[in-house]
Amino acid sequence: MATSDRKLSRRDLFRGIFRQGRGDAEEKEATGVDPDMVYADRLLRDGRYDKAAHLYSRMLQKEPRHLEAMRNMGYCLFMQGDYAGARQAWEKLLSFRPRDNFALLYTGLACAHLGNGKKALENWNLFFDIRKPIVQREINLILARQERGESLEAEEMAAMVQKAMDKQKNA
């Protein structure tokens, strides 16, 4: 792997400086500028999910509570169709950070794809992100329909949320 593939992002640079300045006991060994993480982020952006997942996994072996690695690992697994593995990664993240909107949204999607509509609704009920009004509106509509007693199939809910996410991305 060429060194030019491992360019440092500004985000990772500032995260490393911030962590070093804080002197957190848990974060002592982590610089935030880990070359595996930088390269994994690039692979993720390029859609090379299998290789990125491998690097995030390595990062989690080094630093088991690395929240960004958990989030991105779950996303890589989700994009590869491993909804159970993605759900597991995000539920671990949610055990540390229970209101993580990304994890709540995608855990709900993973549950819906796995046919567990009830668990999807539980996650989406906690999701609130005003920066994603199209997605938020769709989830609110699904929750309202469920409260009215309408029964929606889990895959149907997943498709509705996914369509709203695509619309939000293009808005």
Residue 158 has pLDDT above 60, yes or no: yes
Which DSSP state fits 158? H
Alpha-carbon distance of 43 to 103, in angstroms, equals 20
pLDDT for residue 124:
97
Alpha-carbon distance of 163 to 141, in angstroms, equals 13
Residue 171 has pLDDT above 90, yes or no: no
For residue 89 the two structure tokens come to 């990664």
Torsion of CA 67, 73, 74, 80, to 10 degrees: 170
Q: CB of 109 within 8 A of CB of 161? A: yes
Segment 28-56 mean pLDDT: 83
Q: Which domains does the chain have, with CATH numbers?
A: 10-80 (1.25.40), 90-171 (no CATH)
pLDDT for residue 34:
80
Residue with tokens 């597991």: 88
50-63 pLDDT, tens digit per residue, is 999 999 999 999 99
For residue 23 the two structure tokens come to 């002197």
Class of residue 49 by CB neighbours under 10 A (exposed 0-12, middle 13-18, buried 19+): buried
pLDDT band for 30, please (50, 70, 90 cuts): very low
The pTM for the full model equals 0.78
pLDDT for residue 27:
38
Alpha-carbon distance of 34 to 29, in angstroms, equals 10
Q: Which of 27-36, 50-59, 66-75, 136-145 has the lowest mean pLDDT?
A: 27-36
Torsion of CA 136, 142, 144, 147, to 10 degrees: -140
107-145 pLDDT, tens digit per residue, is 999 999 999 999 999 999 999 999 999 999 999 999 999
Share of the chain above pLDDT 70, in %: 81
Class of residue 123 by CB neighbours under 10 A (exposed 0-12, middle 13-18, buried 19+): buried
Across 94-140, the runs of DSSP E, i.e. the strands, are: none
